[in-house]
Structure 1
């Protein structure tokens, strides 16, 4: 049972290319050290278990870090079931294929400090509990949602599921404070459970809730976050037609959560200076 690992091109019969039959992780790397690494490996392992193929040994996954530059970089790991099988039927003995890309990275610090404008998306996420939380390769819903706007002033789009519950942004998790309590959507039906989200759930008292998008209109503070970009305070929320729904001023509550989230990423924790 072998695992290929190299930056070479994908063969056309790879099941990840053909069917999205695989997983990926996007890891922030600082001076050669992968951040939230254990959480990334744990999510990848859960994905392999759910899809039913073996996970590569850890030293193969970490191999690209040998060439990591100084400073910040992003490591993208892509793991597929490999080739084989007949049609949708997977091979009896899969040989997973690993590819990676390691790129220099610089976060948009202005979004940390000034906050961001976001909008609701029209697209709705399908319900699939068997894949909920996983970072699988089948991301067409996110692609279509991101295609809904071209205005550079809008940083992200919020997604609901097919039953109208708030789930996530196109590539970030969403958090809010309501009546002094921190909340985030429950991700048991769909959505990606980000590694920064996992870290914050361990560090803070955050309730995972089933909520509809109207919950944000009564929130004292709203944030978006992931393990590469860090945390962006939301200062404006638009509807699907571009109409203004709510504004927020960045306050101490915003900065407290942001500081706790930025600490494990090595990002600045004081942003009011």
Structure 2
């Protein structure tokens, strides 16, 4: 057994905010230093801060490096708002779509609607789903509700469907604005009726799913907004 390094034994690191994940965060795509969908991200972050009893996040985005594509992580702790900004370089676009797997990991019944530092179920889902692009988590009732790093959007019977439960995705909500859609519980057995599907997230935009492992054959691959700054894949410049 190795003794805890002195640097990690500092009281700052022993704060419950870090030890127990008592933080709120959001991840925002940026374009040449401009945060996209900032107002929606801030509104969701405020809701999580209120739920956790954290201070309000700083309302204005920080000054950022002008990366062609960037990812801004804003974290709120009991001591204030912190940020980290890095280039967003996910590599070549997966033109043929991606595959996903339904894992046996479950979201937390209270925390699943919030983006908090308590992130272990999502990391375990991603690990269990490897080598698939994404792993989906379930709720206590066995319904598919969320992804380890993206949010699912399904097409069933020609209609867009948002699985009920999980984190309210800012990217998905922005895409669905003005588009008819339904929100309802989705059981794994319903996945066999999916005709098209996408993953939604700040880091990926909207990515078409080629196959839901064990539930569908190959699905039609459609990139709904390939050139859009919010919904497209962040191509290298």
Range of TM-score over shorter length = 0.7 to 0.9
CA contact (8 A) 1:181 1:206 kept: yes
The correspondence for 1:219, drawn from 186, 194, 214, is 194
Provide the residue aligned with 2:181 in structure 1: 206
Provide the residue aligned with 2:232 in structure 1: 267
Provide the residue aligned with 2:144 in structure 1: 166
Provide the residue aligned with 2:128 in structure 1: 148
Structure 1 runs of 4+ with >6 Å offset: none
Whole-Å separation in 2 of the counterparts to 1:12 and 1:168: 30
Matched, 1:117 2:99: yes
Structure 1: runs of 5 or more not aligned: 1-8, 82-95, 240-244, 269-273
Q: How many residues are matched?
A: 225
The 3 A distance-change label for structure 1 pair 266 and 246 is closer
The 3 A distance-change label for structure 1 pair 37 and 199 is same
Whole-Å separation in 2 of the counterparts to 1:184 and 1:248: 20
Structure 2: runs of 5 or more not aligned: 1-9
Provide the residue aligned with 1:247 in structure 2: 217
The 3 A distance-change label for structure 1 pair 10 and 168 is farther
Provide the residue aligned with 1:136 in structure 2: 116
Matched, 1:107 2:90: yes
Name the stretch that deviates more: 26-35 or 15-24.
Answer: 15-24
CA contact (8 A) 2:55 2:76 kept: no
Whole-Å separation in 2 of the counterparts to 1:262 and 1:215: 31
CA contact (8 A) 2:205 2:231 kept: no
Whole-Å separation in 1 of the counterparts to 2:116 and 2:50: 12
Provide the residue aligned with 1:91 in structure 2: none
TM-score, normalisation: structure 1: 0.75
